[in-house]
Amino acid sequence: LHSVPTIHDIYKAQKRLAQQAVDTPLLRSPKLDQKTGATVFIKPENLQRTGSFKFRGAYNAMVQIADADKTKGVVAVSSGNHAQAVAEAGQILDIPVIVVMPHDAPKAKIEGVWERNAEIVFYDRNAEDREQIAAQLIKKTGATYVPPYDHLDVIAGQGTAGLEAAEELKNQGVTPDIFLCCCGGGGLMAGMSIALKDAFPELEIYAVEPEEFDDTGRSLRAGKRLENTRKSGSICDAILTPMPGKITFEINRLLVSGGLTVTDDEALEAVRFAAQKLKMVVEPGGAVALAALLANKLDIKGKTVLIILSGGNTDLVGMSAI
Amino acid sequence: LHSVPTIHDIYKAQKRLAQQAVDTPLLRSPKLDQKTGATVFIKPENLQRTGSFKFRGAYNAMVQIADADKTKGVVAVSSGNHAQAVAEAGQILDIPVIVVMPHDAPKAKIEGVWERNAEIVFYDRNAEDREQIAAQLIKKTGATYVPPYDHLDVIAGQGTAGLEAAEELKNQGVTPDIFLCCCGGGGLMAGMSIALKDAFPELEIYAVEPEEFDDTGRSLRAGKRLENTRKSGSICDAILTPMPGKITFEINRLLVSGGLTVTDDEALEAVRFAAQKLKMVVEPGGAVALAALLANKLDIKGKTVLIILSGGNTDLVGMSAI
């Protein structure tokens, strides 16, 4: 019923994104290496256009919309990062954008959508179904739906982050042992895993999720898609999805070794470490892979580890009063 | 009396630093390009080991200290970034370190020195002479003095940031028109200018300094070293030096086109832009080149501009209360 992206879809996405997305570097931190006893490479997608990896997938999907459909616009649902990404791509491609966002999304994300001239329809995470609201909007406008993760072009776009990381690691003659990926709906992990497993077939990949929102970890163990009981209540707002996507889970069940969880406090400690030691602004949901390292969730001593910082759109790290 | 480093000293420094310093990337920001109308490349030395470029020069100088002198230790004077750099190099090379630091240095910098097991002797910027205090310590201990900027090996070390930027720009087929450099004593600007002018002879280079602390700008115009009237009172603590160095000025008067100044408010605005839009933690003194861009201090429309973010050790950008 649906098709799964291949490495060739990711190569094509990389060409489409060439003049638009930021080719984020791989960073090193002697401090982090010391603390973990591992050799850690950081892919900082908080430095990506719009402050998260989401721009890759959104632009890769939207640049392929037929001219005749562009004026009808795009509708998206998002906790805030996909929203900003779709809004940014809309500005570049001259496509009107409406996003369905939870009313409790961080201020930085709401403002990020408005300043890109997109419209927001707010909903309640606990009481309303965002997909239903989106469906009504699409029925009314004829807009194209751009899903946050469960879509071939979106997954292929996110995969370009994995392609870049693989290319840079190969340039440096490095073979990573482990890849830790922040996981919400699983689009980033699916896309990056396709690219990274193509380059490094022996790589072990782990999904990192907030405690009590470990739908992907539990689904991997069960061999089928399971839902989270809670729908809100973690500070990791970017990765609180109800359950793994159909397409993303089909990929991740094949390529991902398992799941790890971190508490909100561990995520916050990683946000703090990123600001103070790595000198980067990272949001809690974007810091869970780092949190898993800092909280010793996996034995990585002596290993070469790739982690992603997936976003930096947060109200938490700001200027203190002087 | 003193000798000036050449591009070959910088190549040698690069070899010494290969396994120790971070090879910081060149970053792009579509947001910043849009805002300035220029093509801006950012060299983020806030991501360098110890949170500023200073590690490059300190390590390059200290790794050359003779074994017999190592146990006698190193003495340095610093507003905080050179202090942390010398302390870090001391830990790597097993050399005891004492630094003379102003008592009003940011907490983040004082803690950064202590956590690297170096000793701090505090002084008053307005009432005491830090060089004199250092001279007394050296007389007592026989320690080696590692100056913050006016030293061949220190300048050559800082120059490696310029070499990396030049190599990366050449890889990308880019010829920069303008380089904006944060300027205190002028060591970073001197070292980077040697490397960048070697690669791009037509490059225009500007020193950026805080208003009322524009000793280098005024000295360049006068053709001789002039002193600042004030010794403290700007939030740009990292670059409040009394006057240009002898060696650094000899280099900068030949290679630098002129000086620009920014106000404290403009520096703070750049710190805020860096946190919110670039997702990086930058200290005020390390953000003045970005501040000059954002405040339109130079006509750069349509130009290709390289700027440095020189450090990120600040108490200003932290976690807000939740």
B178-208 as b/e: b if 16+ CB within 10 A: bbbbbbbbbbbbbbbbbbbbbbbeebbbbbb
Average pLDDT over residues A124-131: 89
pLDDT surpasses 50 at B6:
yes
Residue B207 and residue B186: Cα distance in Å, rounded? 8
Q: pLDDT, tens digit, for every residue of B263-276? A: 999 999 999 999 99
Cβ distance of A319 and B316 shorter than 8 Å: yes
Instruction: Compare CB distances from B46 to A51, A279, A319 and report the shortest one's residue.
Output: A279
Q: Can you give the pLDDT at residue B320?
A: 64
Distance CA A148, CA A186 (A): 10
Spatial strand order of the sheet with A178-182 comes to A39-44, A304-309, A178-182, A204-210, A258-262
Averaged pLDDT for residues A156-176: 98
Residues of A within 8 A of B278 (CB-CB) are: 47
- Mutation pick from B23, B110, B279, B313 vs chain A, by most beta carbons of A within 10 Å, is B279
CB contact under 8 A, A316 and B315: no
The ipTM assigned to this model is 0.94
User: What was the pLDDT predicted at B318?
Assistant: 76
Q: Which residue has the tokens 């965002």?
A: A130
A31 contacts in chain B (CB < 8 Å): 49
Q: Is the pLDDT of residue B91 over 70?
A: yes
Of A169, A280, A84, nearest to B282 by C-alpha is A280
Contacts of B235 in chain A (CB under 8 A): 322
Element holding A204 (H helix, E strand): strand A204-210
Q: What is the pLDDT of residues A1-47, one digit of tens each?
A: 468 999 999 999 999 999 999 999 999 999 999 999 999 999 999 99
Closest CA–CA distance from residue A4 to any residue of chain B (Å): 31
- Between these two residues, A320 and B317, which has the higher pLDDT value? B317
State whether B318 and A275 contact (CB < 8 Å). yes
Instruction: Tell me the per-residue pLDDT of A231-281, one tens digit each, with 9 for 90 and over.
Output: 888 999 999 989 999 999 999 999 999 999 999 999 999 999 999 999 999
B279 vs A312: CB contact, 8 Å cut-off? Answer: yes
Residue B321: pLDDT band (50, 70, 90) is very low
Under an 8 A CB cutoff, do A271 and B319 touch? yes
User: Which site among A50, A279, A283 would you substitute to test the B interface, given the most B Cβ atoms closer than 10 Å to its Cβ?
Assistant: A279
Handedness of CA A204, A205, A211, A215 (dihedral sign): negative
Residues in Cβ contact with B305 at an 8 Å cutoff, skipping those fewer than 6 apart: B36, B38, B39, B40, B41, B176, B177, B178, B179, B180, B293
Q: What is the predicted pLDDT for the residue at A121?
A: 97
Q: How confident is the model at residue B322 (pLDDT cuts 50, 70, 90)?
A: very low
Q: Which residues in chain B are contacts of A235 at CB distance < 8 A?
A: 322
**B288-308 pLDDT, tens per residue?**
999 999 999 999 999 999 999
Residues paired with residue B178 on neighbouring β-strands, in sequence order: B204, B305
Of A280, A282, A315, the CB nearest to B320: A315
A7-17 vs A54-62: helix axis angle to the nearest 10? 90
Do residues A131 and A77 make contact, with C-beta atoms less than 8 angstroms apart? yes
What integer pLDDT is reported at residue A320 of this predicted model? 64
**B317:A319 CB<8 A:** yes
Please write down the HEC assignment for all residues of chain B.
Answer: CCCCCCHHHHHHHHHHHCCCCCCCCCECCHHHHHHHCCEEEEEEHHHCHHHECHHHHHHHHHCCCCHHHHCCCEEEECCCHHHHHHHHHHHHHCCCEEEEEECCCCHHHHHHHHCCCCEEEEECCCCCCHHHHHHHHHHHHCCEECCCCCCHHHHHHHHHHHHHHHHHHHHCCCCCCEEEEECCCCHHHHHHHHHHHHHCCCCEEEEEEECCCCHHHHHHHHCCCCCCCCCCCCCCHHHCCCCCCHHHHHHHHHHCCEEEEECHHHHHHHHHHHHHHHCECCCHHHHHHHHHHHCCCCCCCCCEEEEEECECCCCCEEECCC
Q: What is the pLDDT of residue B58?
A: 98
Give residue A2's pLDDT: 61
* Spatial distance between the Cα atoms of A135 and A76, rounded to a whole number of angstroms: 10
Instruction: Record the pTM.
Output: 0.95
- Which among B47, B277, B319 is the nearest to A275, CB-wise? B319
What is the helix (H) or strand (E) element at residue A77, kind and residue range? strand A74-77
Tell me which residue in A25, A276, A281 faces B279 most closely, judged by beta carbons: A281
Residues of B at the A interface (Cβ-Cβ below 8 Å)? Answer: 20, 22-23, 25, 27-31, 44, 46-47, 49, 51, 108, 235, 268, 271-272, 275-282, 312, 315-320, 322
Computed on alpha carbons and rounded to an integer, the radius of gyration of chain B in Å comes to 18
| Nearest chain B residue to A33, by CA | B49
Is residue A229 over pLDDT 70?
A: yes
Task: Say whether B25 and A25 touch across the interface (CB within 8 A).
Answer: yes
A272: which chain B residues are within 8 Å (Cβ-Cβ)? 319
Nearest chain A CA: its distance from B235 CA (Å): 10
* Mean pLDDT along residues B7-18: 98
The CA radius of gyration of chain A, in Å to the nearest whole number, is 18
Q: What is the mean pLDDT of residues A108-128?
A: 93
- CA-wise closest residue to A180 among A283, A47, A48, A286: A286
Q: Which residue of B has its CA nearest to A310?
A: B279
Are the C-beta atoms of A25 and A280 separated by less than 8 Å? no
Give CA–CA dist B26/B23, Å, rounded: 10
B280:A47 CB<8 A: yes
Give the model confidence (pLDDT) of B100-126 as tens digits: 999 988 898 999 999 999 999 999 988
- Of residues A241 and A198, more confidence is placed in A198
Indicate the DSSP class of residue A214: -
Residue B196 CA, distance from chain mean position = 16
- Report the mean per-residue pLDDT for chain B: 95
* Residues in chain B within 8 Å Cβ distance of A51: 277, 279
Which residue carries 């097991």 as its tokens?
B117
CA distance B30 to chain A (A): 7
Minimum Cα–Cα distance from B19: chain A residue: A30
pLDDT at B1 over 70: no
Nearest to B51 among A46, A272, A279 (CB): A279
> Nearest-CA residue of chain A relative to B278?
A47
Give tens-digit pLDDT for B128-161: 999 999 999 999 999 999 999 999 999 999 999 9
Residue among A23, A279, A316 minimizing CB distance to B312: A279
pLDDT at position B2: 61
User: Nearest-CA neighbor of A133 among A76, A93, A184?
Assistant: A76
Per-residue burial over B34-56, b = 16 or more CB atoms within 10 Å of its CB, e = otherwise: eebebbbbbbbbbbbbbbbbbbb
Query: Alpha carbon A51 to chain centroid distance?
Result: 11
By Cβ distance, the residue of A31, A44, A318 closest to B275 is A318
Q: Give the C-alpha separation, A114 to A53, whole Å.
A: 19
What residues in B contact A268, CB-CB < 8 Å?
319, 322
Question: A with B: how many residue pairs have Cβ under 8 Å apart?
Answer: 91
> Exposed/middle/buried for A62, CB within 10 Å: 0-12, 13-18, 19+?
buried
Query: What span, in angstroms and rounded, lies between the C-alpha atoms of A253 and A40?
Result: 25
Residue A322 has pLDDT above 50, yes or no: no
C-beta atoms of B278 and A27 within 8 A: no
